[in-house]
Amino acid sequence: MPSTKNTHYFQDYRQKFFAFYKGIFNSDSNNNFIETLQDPTTQFSEFSKALGTILSNLPKIGFNDVHPLDLAILQRSEDSDDAIKIMADVRAYFQGT
């Protein structure tokens, strides 16, 4: 792990950036999940309703404080994951310092 005085910020940002980059990189296999998530016109769509149902049920099985972007991590692992982790580390380091 890179040397930083803000370890908790680094870890939080790294997780967020990893999910974001993984979602963007795999957009062909996930129906553009990240883009759909960020599109304000999907607010009242079937996508939004399904997402709300999923997020509201996660605490029932012990997953608390899960944000929509966190779901991008659920995609299958790819050969690119190592490179995406490096990108997330670098971005998180500069975000948190």
Confidence of residue 8 (pLDDT cuts 50, 70, 90): confident
Residues 6+ apart with CB under 8 A from 96: 4, 6, 9, 10, 13
Q: CA 25 to CA 14: how far, in whole Å?
A: 16
The mean predicted confidence, pLDDT, of the chain is: 87
- pLDDT of amino acid 54: 96
* 66 DSSP 8-state letter: -
What would the pLDDT profile of 33-78 be if each residue is shown by its tens digit? Answer: 889 888 888 878 899 999 999 999 999 999 999 999 999 888 877 7
Q: CA 12 to CA 6: how far, in whole Å?
A: 10
Say if residue 25's pLDDT is above 80. yes
